[in-house]
Structure 1
Amino acid sequence: MIKNRLLVYNMRYAAGNGRRMNIPMPGSGYLRTNPAHLEKISQFVQQQKPDLVGLLEVDTGSKRTGNINQAEKIAKDLGHYSLYQCKYHEGSFTSRLPILNAQANAFIASNELHHPNFHYFNRGVKRLIIELETDEVCVFLVHLSLWYRHRQEQLWELHQLMKKIDKPVIIAGDFNTYWGSSELNLFKQATGLLSANKDSLPTFPSDKPRLELDFVLYEKPIQIDNFTVCDVQYSDHRPLVVDFSLNGV
């Protein structure tokens, strides 16, 4: 039986957390990063000893970070491989703006990454879907829309992508389910996916979590051996750590 550890984290560009994000004006904290936070995030990831890491809100080297590619830095610290892509679809207005054009999602893996697929949702601002196949499973990394209607349309598109995959599937990321995890009920019924977070533990905000926004969804024969929402406050989200295995593999 092959065992794997997956870590999923919306790291908020290592910009930090708390009231400083809204000083001197709301959201202005996104325009600056904190090297100390990035180092702490990297150290935390190293401590978890993951086989695969899915990162949301990664800066791939803008002026905000002093041109440091956060995905590559964490991968280098781990001695792992990385791949990343801008989360805004090619040709969009946001994909051409400084800083925004470096805002990405990323996979980091202990094994070399081959032939990833980058898809884009038809609706929403954040449209990127990263599809990564290992020898055993196919993992999709997503950051869904803030708008409910767009999220529902994006879930339908994910269902269509799943139909093309002949391996057990994991879908992980920030689902922005501000209306509650029940938003995913129809999607889970249609796909047969299950949540690794069986107790619906909240993941946001990181200091006093009350909402479950971050998910790892999986289908059988994948088996969840351990699931943890880590008490880490380097971002506004808490990271997820999932140990999984495949029966009969």
Structure 2
Amino acid sequence: MRPLLCLLAFASLASATDFNVVSFNIRNGGRRMDGKYDHAFQQEILKKLKPDLVALQEVDHITKRNGNVNVAATYAAALGMTSAYAAAMPYDGGAYGAAVLSRFPVVADESIHLPVKDGEPRVCVIRFVKVPDAGVIAIAGVHLDSGNDDTARQENVKLILQRLKSVKEPVIITGDFNDTPDSAVLKMFADAGFRRVTPKGDAASFPADQPRVIIDHVLLRDGSGLTLQDAGTEVVAESNGSDHRPLLSHLKLVKM
């Protein structure tokens, strides 16, 4: 068979499913850039992005400062999703951590508590979800240590990679990495087979009012019989939703 005919035959066997992934650090349990707590505003920002999967960082759970609200569940309900929340530490009568929301059916949820050096404890939330007409994928929502010294972040990455090493399904890692594309931390992910998606336009996401640094990322790794493809990723031009701008990624899951 000629090469062109081979390619056409190969393409005819493949099918793709489109979906949207959003990462959003909602700041101290849901504060705008101007300092006001405003869950409804953040929820409206997310609704406009039409996500199928959402990774949230800095999520309160039943804290006094947020009126004893289950923030992850509230955001999920507003978006027609389910939520998986993991506490990084006790805080203000409740807990403080991270969450992953999904519109897709959930296969399993888990979390990894991450080491710190001098700062706040951190957590990685992992959900295995069934993408319709395609297959199961894993999404890991991360919020890595924020110290100037990257020692703790590298330890964070080692634990995450240790867990994901045995995962055969495609994996998306997204969130607030607190490190730049050229960092040792991002190289560790690259060495483990993850490729960073490059946003179109200005990739700086922090601080939201005058973004100067690129610390929110989407990483992809293919799985057995399934590949993840970037169909357009961008930092959303929202200057007051939080101190981070949301990161929106249009992805394709291709079944071979």
Alignment of 1:129-140 (within 5 A): 129-135=124-130, 136-140=136-140
Aligned to 1:8: 23
CA distance in 1, matches of 2:199, 2:105: 31
TM-score, structure 1 as length reference: 0.83
The letter for the 1-side match of 2:174 is A
The letter for the 1-side match of 2:253 is L
Based on CA coordinates, which of the two structures has the bigger radius of gyration? 2
Deviation for aligned residue 1:203: 0.8
Q: Deviations over 1:198-232 (max 9, x none)?
A: 56711100011110111111123210001010011
CA distance in 1, matches of 2:116, 2:31: 27
CA distance in 1, matches of 2:140, 2:103: 17
Decide which of 143, 156, 159 is 1:157's aligned counterpart: 159
CA contact (8 A) 2:23 2:246 kept: yes
CA distance in 2, matches of 1:117, 1:55: 15
Aligned to 1:115: 108
Deviation for aligned residue 1:76: 1.4
The RMSD of aligned alpha carbons is 1.9
The letter for the 2-side match of 1:66 is G
Decide which of 33, 36, 50 is 1:17's aligned counterpart: 33
CA contact (8 A) 1:62 1:102 kept: yes
CA contact (8 A) 1:126 1:144 kept: no
CA distance in 2, matches of 1:80, 1:159: 27
Structure richer in helix, relative to its length: 1
The letter for the 2-side match of 1:8 is S
Is 2:241 aligned against 1:234? yes
Query: Where do 5+ consecutive residues of structure 1 fail to align?
Result: 22-32, 89-94
Query: Where do 5+ consecutive residues of structure 2 fail to align?
Result: 1-15, 131-135
CA distance in 2, matches of 1:63, 1:10: 20
The letter for the 1-side match of 2:177 is F
Structure richer in strand, relative to its length: 2
Q: Indicate the SS of the match to 1:207.
A: coil
Relative distance call for 1:243 and 1:16 in structure 2 (3 A) is same
CA contact (8 A) 1:8 1:53 kept: yes
CA contact (8 A) 1:10 1:57 kept: yes
Relative distance call for 1:79 and 1:188 in structure 2 (3 A) is closer
Is 2:90 aligned against 1:84? no
CA contact (8 A) 2:84 2:125 kept: no
Identity, in percent, stands at 26
